[in-house]
A and B are shown apart, each in its own frame.
Chain A
Amino acid sequence: GAGVSQSPRYKVAKRGQDVALRCDPISGHVSLFWYQQALGQGPEFLTYFQNEAQLDKSGLPSDRFFAERPEGSVSTLKIQRTQQEDSAVYLCASSFTTGTSGAYEQYFGPGTRLTVT
C-alpha cells in the first residue's frame, strides 16, 4: 500500500514568511509524529498526535510552530514568521499503535526540505 507522503518536497521561503507543510499518513495509522532534521544531524522530535488529539508538543522550538490534525488523518505543520534557523528537513512519521510500551515501529515520509533565505 501507499506509504507516508509529504508535500511539498522542497520549500524555499523568505525570512518572515509563513509556511505550511503537509503530511498524509498511512491509512489507518492512529499515531502521527513530526520531526525536524537539521543538516548533518539526527531527527529531533517536535510533536505527536493520537488521532486528532495533540498529546505531546514538547519538542516545538517556539510558539511560531503550530501543528494540527483536525480529522485524525492528514496533518499540517505551520511555521509562522520563518527564520533562517528553521531551515531543515521536516519529517513526518506514522504508527499503527497507540501503546506507550513495546517496540512499535514508525513509518517515515520522505520529508520536506525547508530553506529560509
Chain B
Amino acid sequence: AQSVTQLDSHVSVSEGTPVLLRCNYSSSYSPSLFWYVQHPNKGLQLLLKYTSAATLVKGINGFEAEFKKSETSFHLTKPSAHMSDAAEYFCVVKRNYGQNFVFGPGTRLSVLP
C-alpha cells in the first residue's frame, strides 16, 4: 500500500531564504507524486507533479521537487521564500491501482519578515 511521510509538521523560514519541505513515500511500483498547497479558507492547489519524464520537476510560483527513487523521496524546494508562500503543503501519492490520492499529514510553512 502507498503511504506518505512528511518529516516536519512545521517549517519556519525568513523571507528571501530557501525553503525545503521534506517528503518520503512508500510505494511498490513507480509512483505518481504531487505537491499541493492549501491556503487558509481556500481549496487545494496543485504545485507540481512527477510524471516519470524527468526527475527534477518545476512547478508554479518558483517551486520545484526532485524525485529520488533510491531515497524514496520527493522533497519540495524554493530558492527564495515570499510572504505569500505561507500555507499548508501536502505531499501526495496516487494509488497505483485505482484513482484516489493518499495524502501526507502536511507541513505548515511560516515565512517571517
Contact = CB atoms under 8 A, between A and B. Distances in A.
Interface string A64-95: 00000000000000000000000000010101
Secondary structure of the A side of the interface? loop
Contacts of B106: 40-42
A7 B43 CA distance: 13
B49 A103 contact: yes
Contact of B99 (A3, A4, A48, A109): A48
A98 B99 CA distance: 8
A103 B51 contact: yes
Contacts, number: 71
A99 B52 CA distance: 16
A102 B32 contact: yes
Interface size class of B (residues with CB under 8 A): 20 to 34
Interface string B31-63: 011101000011111100111100000000000
A100 B43 contact: no
Nearest to A33: B100
Contacts of B51: 102-103
Interface residues of A, number: 32
B59 to A, nearest CB: 11
Given A33-B100, A42-B105, A100-B97, A105 B34 contact: yes
A104 B103 CA distance: 15
B91 to A, nearest CB: 9
Contacts of A95: 99
Interface of A: 3-4, 31, 33, 35, 40-45, 48, 50, 55-56, 59, 91, 93, 95, 98, 100-111
18 contacts: A31-B99, A33-B100, A42-B104, A43-B101, A48-B100, A56-B99, A59-B100, A91-B43, A98-B99, A102-B32, A103-B32, A103-B33, A103-B34, A103-B49, A104-B32, A105-B34, A105-B46, A107-B46
